[in-house]
Homo-oligomer: A and B are copies of this chain.
Amino acid sequence: MGALRDTLDLRILDMLQHDALLTADALAQRLPLSASAIARRIRRLRDSGAITGDVAVLSEEIGPFLSAVVQVQMDRHALAAVEALRRRLGASPHVQLFLDVSGAFDLLLLVTVRDMAAFNEFADTMLGSDPVVRRYETSFVKRRRKFSLALPLDIDAG
């Protein structure tokens, strides 16, 4: 997927990962390239997979929501059972972030639910009842200060 040809592609990606509604016309005012060339590049970046998709970001105020960071330590015995747990976690709409991490814990989750009752329900059914889960620790999110998918693009280094 070597679809990034030059620093202009990087600059286009960087602007779109902050605002995907920018038109090719608007981008053309900030880049030394015509709108039609920019539109072509955006299409190529999408088709090549450099842009995997576009998502609408919703306000937390449509909530209320309760979020928690859950660190999970697993037993490694049954590989199939581990895979099953992973599938369930990845498929849950309540799991926003799901990472394999190094250190004392194996998994780190960001779980978002409606309220504490829903969190307990989640923890009990997804984690507490699973024999693969040795233990887990929960930190509740007091405030979400930044939550961005934007990757840091070193524009110079292109």
Chain B residues whose CB sits within 8 angstroms of the CB of A16 once the complex forms: 55-56
A145 at interface by CB-CB < 8 Å: yes
A17-B55, A54-B21, A55-B54 known; A60+B143 contact, CB < 8 A: no
A62 nearest CB neighbor, chain B only: B50
A49 at interface by CB-CB < 8 Å: yes
Q: Is the CB of A149 within 8 A of B57?
A: yes
A56 in complex: contacting residue of B17, B69, B145, CB < 8 Å: B17
Chain B residues whose CB sits within 8 angstroms of the CB of A56 once the complex forms: 13, 16-17, 20, 51, 53-54
A142 at interface by CB-CB < 8 Å: yes
Interface-side segment among A33-41, A92-100, A126-134: A92-100
Chain B residues whose CB sits within 8 angstroms of the CB of A69 once the complex forms: 99, 101, 108
Chain A contacts with B in 122-158, Cβ cutoff 8 A: 137-154
- In the assembled complex, how far is the CB of residue A27 from the closest CB belonging to chain B, in whole angstroms? 12
With A17-B55, A89-B145 known, 11 other A-B pairs at CB within 8 A are: A50-B62, A54-B55, A54-B57, A58-B150, A90-B146, A97-B97, A100-B141, A101-B140, A102-B142, A103-B138, A149-B149
